């Protein structure tokens, strides 16, 4: 999930089964953990994977190794299962008495006792997993949204001398992923080599390198009716990290209907404004600002400050049967949420079920079963609304319908009837 130095798309072409270790830091947002899990599921085209390691309690190698709070290991376990894991394994059973990981958490701590909080929580989880059985093993996630991701692109961007030292590819991908996560809209993480067929919406944050026929795939996808969203630093270099001649975004200029004249780098903490054309809420942006020259593209928002005030910031272009949005900066979360809302409404892409804001919902499907995971990441009670549909709570056997409460820090796992 965070092995930057290893191209996992390339590695896993030679593997039958994927396994990875889930060790989020206490400060990591649930959306980042979910993104990494979806990335693992995407490495072999949606195939499920193994959660081979997680800690029953704190780790020992992070700067500050906080205890997992009540119910946290259960929520993290079900989050992994919700996003495609078929196993729920732990390191370690008994805590080591020596060596580098002697303070790493374990089901059985140095005390050797079974009447501890951690042992009790793991025992409860084990009983629940036994009750669930194989109901979702091998099940897949259906998504109409794909986000492009590439390791070579990651390395090239962050090893570049300019235009800014603040390149953070994974964080930028997470920012564009988060609105879909918040709205409980399933997402597939796709390599640049994907042909993109079968998706309604493709998001390409900082698709800097045009490699693996990406330009051809994007042209075909949009021309045939797909919707594309891309950001600043798109279409800048070829597969050998050689910058394109003829202006950015290189071979995608016709798809976006524009060209980029210059790119301004903002200092850390410096911002500009995104001002919607025709009025609306002004939002902030940061990091980089493109000076965009439009050809066929329509301007949706302009910059609000600096010498390029009033110049295009966000555009849309009709290309073939589809359309392409270009975001020539790094917007704040509010803007990305609003833009995602607008695009998804136009495409008829909706959440799995209505729910309260703190709920994370996923659905894994097999030929005979569909299993819904509802995870409450807040200490406050939340809800999921099944409408007229009837579902069975797999942990209690109760039949549920309508608006169902989910206690704080709890989970609900249901099967469609």
Contacts of 167 (CB under 8 A, 6+ apart): 157, 158, 160
Contacts of 311 (CB under 8 A, 6+ apart): 291, 292, 302, 303
Single out the residue of 130, 109, 128 nearest to residue 56, CA to CA.
109
The Cα 42–Cα 186 span in angstroms is 12
Pair 364, 136: CB distance under 8 Å = yes
Per-residue CA distances from 188 to 44, 96, 142, 147 (Å): 11, 38, 8, 6
Helices 151-158 and 169-182 sit at what angle, rounded to 10 degrees? 130
pLDDT above 90 coverage of the chain, percent? 97
Pair 242, 217: CB distance under 8 Å = no
Q: Is the pLDDT of residue 1 over 60?
A: no
Q: Is the pLDDT of residue 12 over 80?
A: yes
Write the pLDDT tens digit of every residue in 327-348: 999 999 999 999 999 999 999 9
Pick the range with the lowest mean pLDDT from 15-29, 226-240, 341-355, 386-400: 15-29
pTM here? 0.97
The Cα 87–Cα 83 span in angstroms is 12
Task: Count the alpha carbons within 13 Å of 324 in the hemisphere toward its beta carbon.
Answer: 27
Q: Which pLDDT does position 3 carry in this prediction?
A: 83
The Cα 169–Cα 118 span in angstroms is 36
Q: Which pLDDT does position 188 carry in this prediction?
A: 98
Single out the residue of 192, 209, 202 nearest to residue 251, CA to CA.
209
The Cα 417–Cα 413 span in angstroms is 13
Write the pLDDT tens digit of every residue in 259-318: 999 999 999 999 999 999 999 999 999 999 999 999 999 999 999 999 999 999 999 999
Per-residue CA distances from 154 to 57, 140, 170, 223, 240 (Å): 32, 27, 8, 27, 13
**Average pLDDT, rounded, for the chain:** 97
Report how far Cα 222 is from the mean position of its chain's Cα atoms. Answer: 22
């Amino acid at each position: 999930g965070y092995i930057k130095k290893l191209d996992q798309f390339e590695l896993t072409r030679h593997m039958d089964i994927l396994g990875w270790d889930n060790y989020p830091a206490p400060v990591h947002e649930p959306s980042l953990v979910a993104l990494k899990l979806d990335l693992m599921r995407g490495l072999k085209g949606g195939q499920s994977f193994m959660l081979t390691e997680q800690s029953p309690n704190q780790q020992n190698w992070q700067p500050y190794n906080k205890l997992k709070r009540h119910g946290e290991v259960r929520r993290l376990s079900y989050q992994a299962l919700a996003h495609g894991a078929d196993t729920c394994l732990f390191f370690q059973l008994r805590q080591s008495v020596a060596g580098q990981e002697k303070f790493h958490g374990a089901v059985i701590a140095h005390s050797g006792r079974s009447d501890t909080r951690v042992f009790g929580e793991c025992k409860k989880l084990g009983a629940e997993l036994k009750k669930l059985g194989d109901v979702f093993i091998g099940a897949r996630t259906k998504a109409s949204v794909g986000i492009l991701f590439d390791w070579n692109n990651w390395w090239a961007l962050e090893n570049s001398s300019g235009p800014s030292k603040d390149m953070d590819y994974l964080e930028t991908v997470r920012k564009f992923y988060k609105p879909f996560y918040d709205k409980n809209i399933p997402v597939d993480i796709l390599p640049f080599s994907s042909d993109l067929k079968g998706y309604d919406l493709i998001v390409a944050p900082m698709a800097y390198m045009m490699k693996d026929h990406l330009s051809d795939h994007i042209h075909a996808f949009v021309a045939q009716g797909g919707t594309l969203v891309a950001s600043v630093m798109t279409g800048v270099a070829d597969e050998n990290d050689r910058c394109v001649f003829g202006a950015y975004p290189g071979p995608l200029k016709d798809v976006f209907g524009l060209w980029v004249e210059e790119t301004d780098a903002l200092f850390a903490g410096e911002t500009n404004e995104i001002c919607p054309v025709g009025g609306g809420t002004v939002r902030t942006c940061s990091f980089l600002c493109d000076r965009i020259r439009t050809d066929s593209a329509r301007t949706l928002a302009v910059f609000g400050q600096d010498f390029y005030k009033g110049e295009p910031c966000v555009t849309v272009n009709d290309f073939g049967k589809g359309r392409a949005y270009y975001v020539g900066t790094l917007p704040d979360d509010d803007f990305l949420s609003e833009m995602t809302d607008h695009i998804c409404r136009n495409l008829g892409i909706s959440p799995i079920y209505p729910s309260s804001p703190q709920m994370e919902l996923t659905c894994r499907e097999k030929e005979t079963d569909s299993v819904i995971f509802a995870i409450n990441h807040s200490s406050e009670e939340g809800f999921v609304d099944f409408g007229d549909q009837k579902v069975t709570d797999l942990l209690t056997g109760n039949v549920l319908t309508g608006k169902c409460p989910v206690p704080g820090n709890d989970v609900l796992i249901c099967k469609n009837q």
